[in-house]
Structure 1
């Protein structure tokens, strides 16, 4: 029975937790059945072993056809409390407690507290589960069993609550870190766009003043100036449309790539100088990239993608070969940074799922309606890919001149 733990752990840790839970529940159920068959027990003992216990276990995993976790946990808690109250009127012998049900209720307590988003919902659901667990010793029917069992269950519940609360706090801290990174990237992009678009607006103002000056003396020169103003305004509005509502961050140095290829060449060369023992990094750019000009926000984002990817390679896979490739088609500009995996690795590969730098890159690229991915592309290689849509204002670096008539 697979258990889907939606916790802020790596996939390997989640699989290990699920396997441990399944093994412990299975062994506990076998123990319950062994004790049940070795003694003469009342019908309520059979109910605890074959009904309420398995139903409590089935409430643990998430599946498409089951209700929400809080609904399942509430139903299991009420079912357990009902059986405990019924046991007050039925004679019992020692050993017919229902350990499978107890263990499932403890797991539910930790899980509800760890993954339920709404605090109030988690509080009252956990309260019901705690009450149902503390009522389990009533099934024995003796004072000694109630005192001893209550003590043991209090310790177990305390551990489960600590685990659940720690998981909840860890997830909240992770979400805050992700939000901070996304917000910082949005503000950084807004600052870049502010500085880059300011140039366009200055040109529009200068051209408008020139048109007003020559309007009376040379009316034939006004129309080309107006066309240039319209073209500059279209480019500026296209850039601002993509990032409306993004605020500017103070004390942030804007990035102004004078020429995309030369800037990336310097970046790759600097990366190679920092790793003298590694193969030299390569920058590959197709003719479609070298002969075209792209919008400022696209070039800035491409630079940031390459910069972050090279930083991750230097940090997580030093000494490995790196290839930076740029390609363009009529609608998109594509950038790929690939590197071979380190032979001796202490952690995950560069840009693992928890990498906050890649979260910021994804935020920047998706803000421009682009696509972003990072992961193992084929055995032995790790790739960071980004695709950015080209603006209608993009044009060749050397456009053909109109023929003279």
Structure 2
């Protein structure tokens, strides 16, 4: 988050510096054309779009295209009025560098993050305001060439903004698809989870009924176990269904536990190190541990090369469960990210934990997740 804020601040500062350079350039070449300093029309055409561009980070997606469209029309009007204030057209420069730069910046922003429908109307207006500046004051071959060049630049900026918009939309669509796939998997696993626990409760109830006549003294302990199993099942279901209903977090697959983690590590041929009390952990914790290990081992198999040793550390201390998977190989392409690790990050965060992936100092790659050690009642 801090890095993002720093980059935004640097981008804002760079934009301000570029606008200052454009203002200085305008001043110099206006003097060359007219032998006079900036007038009120030149100031209006330069300052208004520049201020809007500097304020763009605080403009919402709806206000951005409206602001850009209004300023584009303003620049055109000022340009026409500008023409009426000079005695000869050859005293007019082909364009205002400050206005062009500011309008191009607004064009890029509105095509990237502006509301779709207003941006579709505002973008052509901004392109026209940038491209038509030369021919609004003189219709000569040189000024027409300037118009074509500005139009080409504006279209390139518009295309870059639209491309960035499509990339962001594609990532969002991909994230939604992953979320829906995981929720579908969650629903299937939740059915198995409920069926398993309810089956155990039914079996214990049938056993209690069978021994009720001959050993009534054993019925009460069985009822206590049934009650405990029912409470545990309800608590876990409430937590998992709550995550399923939460639009901000991905659901968790609920079935796998510590024994399944041991079997997974053994099948892969990795070393398993356990430390602390790992019994009676809540099902959403153990299932997430299983998913972390499975994703990490899958990435090792798919992406890492020259792997000689893989270690899985599973420990519990001070109310936290830590699972860490390390290898000594060479990380390949795709080891550092992907939708699988992105989904894990959302799973772990949903439980109040954190996850870290990256290279280790001695060589290889590590995936480490820390989760709160919730226990069954």
Bin of the TM-score, shorter chain as denominator length = 0.7 to 0.9
8 A Cα contact 1:211 1:225, kept in partner: yes
Matches within 5 A, 1:327-366: 327-329=315-317, 331-338=319-326, 342=330, 350-352=335-337, 355-366=338-349
CA 1:240/1:182 → structure 2, altered by over 3 Å: closer, same or farther? same
The corresponding residue for 1:39 is: 33
Is residue 2:375 matched to residue 1:392? yes
8 A Cα contact 1:185 1:363, kept in partner: no
Is residue 2:245 matched to residue 1:263? no
Alignment deviations for residues 295-323 of structure 1 (CA, whole Å, 9 cap, x no partner): 44432321210121233344444336654
CA 1:63/1:119 → structure 2, altered by over 3 Å: closer, same or farther? closer
Structure 2 counterpart of 1:306, from 282, 293, 298: 293
Matches within 5 A, 1:153-164: 153-164=150-161
The corresponding residue for 2:312 is: 324
Is residue 2:173 matched to residue 1:176? yes
Distance 2:5 2:54 in 1: 8
Is residue 2:207 matched to residue 1:210? yes
CA 1:84/1:347 → structure 2, altered by over 3 Å: closer, same or farther? farther
Q: Unaligned regions of 5+ residues in structure 2, if any?
A: 246-252
Structure 2 counterpart of 1:238, from 222, 235, 238: 235
The corresponding residue for 1:287 is: 276
What TM-score does the superposition give when structure 2 sets the normalisation length? 0.76
The corresponding residue for 1:87 is: 82
- Greater percentage in helix: 2
CA 1:201/1:316 → structure 2, altered by over 3 Å: closer, same or farther? same
8 A Cα contact 1:5 1:18, kept in partner: no
SS of alignment partner, residue 285 of structure 1:
strand
The corresponding residue for 2:248 is: none
CA 1:227/1:5 → structure 2, altered by over 3 Å: closer, same or farther? closer
SS of alignment partner, residue 259 of structure 1:
helix
Deviation at 1:169, TM superposition (A): 1.3
**CA root-mean-square deviation:** 4.1
8 A Cα contact 2:313 2:323, kept in partner: yes
SS of alignment partner, residue 39 of structure 1:
helix
Q: Which range moved further: 132-141 or 297-306?
A: 132-141
Alignment deviations for residues 150-203 of structure 1 (CA, whole Å, 9 cap, x no partner): 433332332222222222111111111111112222322332332233211101
Deviation at 1:135, TM superposition (A): 4.4
Is residue 2:46 matched to residue 1:53? yes
SS of alignment partner, residue 243 of structure 1:
helix
Distance 2:200 2:332 in 1: 53
Alignment deviations for residues 78-120 of structure 1 (CA, whole Å, 9 cap, x no partner): 542342242242224242521232133123212211122x312
What TM-score does the superposition give when structure 1 sets the normalisation length? 0.72
8 A Cα contact 2:131 2:148, kept in partner: no
SS of alignment partner, residue 315 of structure 2:
strand
Q: Unaligned regions of 5+ residues in structure 1, if any?
A: 248-252, 271-281, 395-405
Distance 2:45 2:73 in 1: 11
Deviation at 1:63, TM superposition (A): 7.7
